[in-house]
Amino acid sequence: MPKEFSPILLENLQIRWSGFRIRRIALNRHMPRVERLSEHVHRYCQILLYLRGSGTQHLGEVAVPVERGSVLMIPPGRAHRFEKTRAVRPICLAIDFDTVEAVTWREESVVSSRDLALIERLLVELHESHLKPDDFSIQSAALILQILARIQSAVEDNEPGRAQGPVRVSVEKAIARHGLTGATPGLIATRLGRTLDHLNRQMQEECGMTVGAILNRARLEHGGKLLRTTTRTIGEIASAIGMDDQNYFARWFRQQTGQTPTRWREAMRG
């Protein structure tokens, strides 16, 4: 762990603004005993931002790969567990908070390289401003709110306003040429003559997303179109977007939209 990433644990916070209340913020390296956490739930919302390392967050039965820059927004009551997949122990920022109304942020996103660098600087300042026990200041609260603001810009559904950069355009064209059946992030990277890590870094710098996120979005858009405009069965639509397991598709679709494919189809057709 770089020296500037000193452990941070601030609990019993009462930072409030416009329907939100931050309860706790923690930053530390995953120790060996938590490299594979058992499934658990919280009564509050939790944001997880990975700063180092990689692994898999299991959200119920859905496995979500996480790496540097990955953000997960876990709502109250959502069962989840972490599993480390590489030798490097992950460093994860966890922010626990309550809201008056259910948040509509994306459950899976990526922080851009620029925002990630800013968050890391703010975390260093937060550590330095909280060196003494019980010395929590207005400055500390302001730093926490700045960190959350940068994360919020990634998880809010504001993607239509982003510019279409050349790397993202090349990824979307490669997906269109190959088709969704059998498409994986690694395959798309290979077709573009790059490693997946290299391509994901370029994507994060350009638009704050990964190849996997673009592929998921393409599947969601095409699956939604088929549900809305055809009478094909849920299983047929799942296969058409590259998911042979109908049950997995139903769970995945509900995570993306908040509704099952059947209920979403009924709502779209009035």
Interior/surface letters 54-64, b for 16+ CB within 10 angstroms, e for the rest: bbebbbeeeeb
| pLDDT band at residue 86 under the 50/70/90 scheme | low
Q: Where are the beta strands (DSSP E) in 77-229?
A: 80-84, 91-99, 108-110
Residue with the larger pLDDT of the pair 207 and 50:
50
Split at pLDDT 50, 70, 90, the class of 130 is low
Candidates 232, 257, 260; CA nearest to 248 is: 260
How many whole angstroms separate alpha carbon 206 and alpha carbon 112?
8
Q: Quote the CA–CA distance of 247 and 250 in Å, as a whole number.
A: 5
Other C-beta atoms lying within 10 Å of the C-beta of residue 250: 17
Give 215-230 pLDDT, tens digit per residue: 988 898 898 889 888 9
Q: In this structure, what token pair is assigned to residue 254?
A: 């509900």
Check residue 57 and report its DSSP letter: E
Contact 173, 188 (CB under 8 A): no
Instruction: Write out the DSSP string of 98-135.
Output: EESS-----SEEE--HHHHHHHHHHHHHHHHHT-STT-
**Dmax over Cα atoms in the chain, in whole Å?**
64
Surface-to-core class of residue 24, CB atoms within 10 Å of its CB (0-12 exposed, 13-18 middle, 19+ buried): middle
Domains, the chain: 8-157 (2.60.120.280), 166-268 (1.10.10.60)
Query: What contacts 65, CB < 8 A, 6 or more positions away?
Result: 54, 55, 56, 85, 212
| CA–CA gap between residue 61 and residue 113 (Å, rounded) | 30
Averaged over 18-46, what is the pLDDT? 72
Q: Is the pLDDT of residue 35 over 50?
A: no
Least confident of 110-114, 123-127, 155-159, 189-193: 155-159
Worst-scoring range by mean pLDDT, 60-64, 122-126, 169-173, 242-246? 60-64
Say if residues 161 and 182 touch (Cβ distance below 8 Å).
no
Percentage above 70 pLDDT, the chain: 83
The answer on pLDDT for 235 being more than 80 is yes
Query: Residue range 118-146: average pLDDT?
Result: 76
| Distance (Å, whole) CA 88 – CA 32 | 11
pLDDT for the residue 76:
84
Give the least confident one: 25-34, 92-101, 105-114, 232-241. 25-34
Higher pLDDT, 48 or 156: 48
* pLDDT bracket for residue 29 (50, 70, 90): low
- Judge whether 143 and 126 are in contact, CB under 8 Å: yes
Rg over alpha carbons for the chain, rounded to the nearest Å, is 20
**What pLDDT digit, counting tens, does each position of 134-174 carry?**
556 777 888 888 888 888 877 775 444 445 688 988 999 99
Q: Look at 248 and 29; give whichever has higher pLDDT.
A: 248
Q: Which of 174, 206, 209, 216 shows the shortest CA–CA distance to 192?
A: 174
- Between 21 and 180, the more confident residue is 180
- Provide the pLDDT for residue 249: 93
Looking at every residue in the chain, the average pLDDT score rounds to 80
Residues in the chain: 270
When mean pLDDT is compared across 18-22, 167-171, 174-178, 241-245, the lowest value belongs to 18-22
